[in-house]
Structure 1
Amino acid sequence: MSRAFEHEFSSLVRETRKEHVGNGPREITTRFIGTWAISEMKGNLTNVEKFMIKSPDGERMVREARTSLIKKIYENPELVRKFEKLVGAKLIRMFSDINIGEDIAMTIFVFDGNLEEKSR
């Protein structure tokens, strides 16, 4: 059941990114550790962003826009409810960052319940 639960969570993350950012990550892996859901995403950047990051200013702009946008997306109460319903716990906080050069993003969701136990 653990892999299915992780896959379901990853699918919701991908669906969210696709809807709000314009494309979802090419590859996504989620792991549950205690109260944390850690999603690692590869292949996030759009063609326009790949063009923009060829300059230092473009790279800074894409990184700032990506991290700010992702944090803003998860302020939506409807979206938060979808994640909370899936895991059966309340979302307390979320951390997100992207390594532009490697095109790898990480999002850590912190819930008020032990997700490892729920995923078994």
Structure 2
Amino acid sequence: MRRETGFNEIIRKVRKELFGKGPERIHTTFVDNMAITILYGNLTPSEKFLAQEASGKEMVHAARTKMVQKIYPVQFNKELEDYMDSRLLHLFSDIKVEEDIAISVFVFEDNITAK
């Protein structure tokens, strides 16, 4: 199994635990000390309904990005670090609600492409 595939499985599991639905498709690329992950098909039916209104779209965006950035480092750090054999330093995350595409950039302490 490719290392990216295993990483994607962790991300899918985490998202499913956090939001009740994992992404339909994930693509991860490792570059130096970063894992850049694009996630497609993230939103639940309830979130899609809320996002039909501007205020709902803002609420879904805020909830998705803040929850990921707050909970990943606390609850899932060890699993990611053990898998990558490197300490997770930073996580940047955003979602484009209209197109249901999210991106996360995981910044690790070590060069993860050399491992």
- Note whether the superposition's TM-score is higher than 0.5: yes
- Of residues 75, 81, 106, the one that matches 1:109 is 106
- Quote how far apart the aligned CAs of 1:109 are: 0.3
Superposition RMSD in Å: 1.0
- Quote how far apart the aligned CAs of 1:72 are: 1.5
**What is the number of residues matched between the two proteins?**
115
- Of residues 86, 93, 97, the one that matches 2:94 is 97
- Quote how far apart the aligned CAs of 1:75 are: 2.9
Give 3-state SS (helix, strand or coil) of 1:45's partner: coil
- Of residues 34, 49, 52, the one that matches 1:51 is 49
| C-alpha distance in structure 1 between counterparts of 2:17 and 2:91, whole Å | 19
Give 3-state SS (helix, strand or coil) of 1:117's partner: coil
Match of 1:28 in 2: 26
4+ residue runs of structure 1 moved beyond 3 angstroms?
none
- Quote how far apart the aligned CAs of 1:94 are: 0.4
Q: Is there any run of 5+ residues in structure 2 with no aligned partner, and where?
A: none
TM-score by length of 1: 0.92
Match of 1:81 in 2: 78
Match of 2:17 in 1: 19
Q: Is there any run of 5+ residues in structure 1 with no aligned partner, and where?
A: none
TM-score by length of 2: 0.96
Give 3-state SS (helix, strand or coil) of 1:97's partner: strand
Identity of aligned residues (%): 40
Q: Deviations over 1:30-60 (max 9, x none)?
A: 1100000011000000000110111100101
| C-alpha distance in structure 1 between counterparts of 2:70 and 2:18, whole Å | 10
| C-alpha distance in structure 2 between counterparts of 1:13 and 1:75, whole Å | 13
